[in-house]
Each structure stands twice: as structure tokens, then as C-alpha cells.
Structure 1
């Protein structure tokens, strides 16, 4: 396989997803790097507060977060 094709298909961004333990379909999603690190300085105040909340209640209200690739260049609205 040609390496240039693999690069075109590779995810360009990642997101950190905290899923609700009690409400299926509810989740907080934040942009992150491949290691799951969120740049808090780039978040809006509301998103930063949601991120801190999700971290504080992980394991009680939300799952431990998953790092997921985002394949499109346009991001959906994040928390």
C-alpha cells in the first residue's frame, strides 16, 4: 500500500469522550491530542467548566474517558 494513501485516511484530530453512566446517548466531548490531553486554554469558559465537571465525576456520573479519532475536518459542537 502506498504510504501517501495511508496518510490521507489517517485521523487528523482526536476527541476525549466522557459518556453518561445513567443516560444513554449523553456525553461530554472535548478536542484533545492523541494521548487524550485537552488544551484547556483553547476551551470556552463553559466548555472548560464542563470538562472540569466531567473529570471530577468520572466513575460516578460519567465513564472514564475514551480518546477517539475524528476523521472530518469540521468538528461537531463540543461541550
Structure 2
């Protein structure tokens, strides 16, 4: 009998170049492909913003094994921030 590993969850992480600012993380596959149709409009806008700010405010993205979530999140913020992000309030 073969043991099956649990499904892996990946995030495409854009880390901030500045310590005082959070980065972004978006659910993706193992190759770093983000399913844009699965994101809310606000999360999609944040994704496009993150891509546009690479080299200016954010480091190039990296794929990391992340939390089991299907929602994007801001990196470097307390859990309450993550909860608001999951609810679609990215302010």
C-alpha cells in the first residue's frame, strides 16, 4: 500500500524591499502560476500592482510552500490583517 502525501499548497510571494512595508502572497501552483479567475477583483488588482512594483517596492516573486488557503494575503502583517484580507478588505 502506498502512502499518499497530503496536497501541497503554494504561494507566490512578493517580499517588500522596505522593512516597514508588507509584501504580498497569492495562491498558486508549484510553477508559480496564479489562477487569476479565482481571485476577487481587489486581489487581482493587488496582484497586478505587485507585478508592476517588482524592482521598485517589491522583490521578484518566489514560490513557497504556504498555508492551506485559496485566498491572497498581505505578508508581514498580524493574523487580524490576514483575516481582513481573506474577507476581501485589503485597506
Unpaired runs of 5+ residues, structure 1, are: none
2:65 is paired with a residue whose SS is: strand
Q: CA deviation at 1:77?
A: 5.6
Matches within 5 A, 1:11-30: 12-24=8-20, 26-30=22-26
Q: Which residue of 1 aligns with 2:57?
A: 61
Q: Which residue of 2 aligns with 1:78?
A: 72
Unpaired runs of 5+ residues, structure 2, are: 74-91
Residues 27 and 71, structure 2, Cα contact 8 Å, conserved in 1: no
- TM-score, length of structure 2 as denominator length: 0.68
Q: CA deviation at 1:42?
A: 0.4
- Higher RCO by CA contacts (8 Å cutoff, separation 6 or greater): 1
Q: CA deviation at 1:53?
A: 0.4
1:4 is paired with a residue whose SS is: coil
For the aligned residue pairs, the C-alpha RMSD in angstroms reads 2.4
C-alpha distance in 2 between matches for 1:16 and 1:33: 8
Q: Are residue 43 (structure 1) and residue 46 (structure 2) matched?
A: no
Q: Which residue of 2 aligns with 1:31?
A: 27
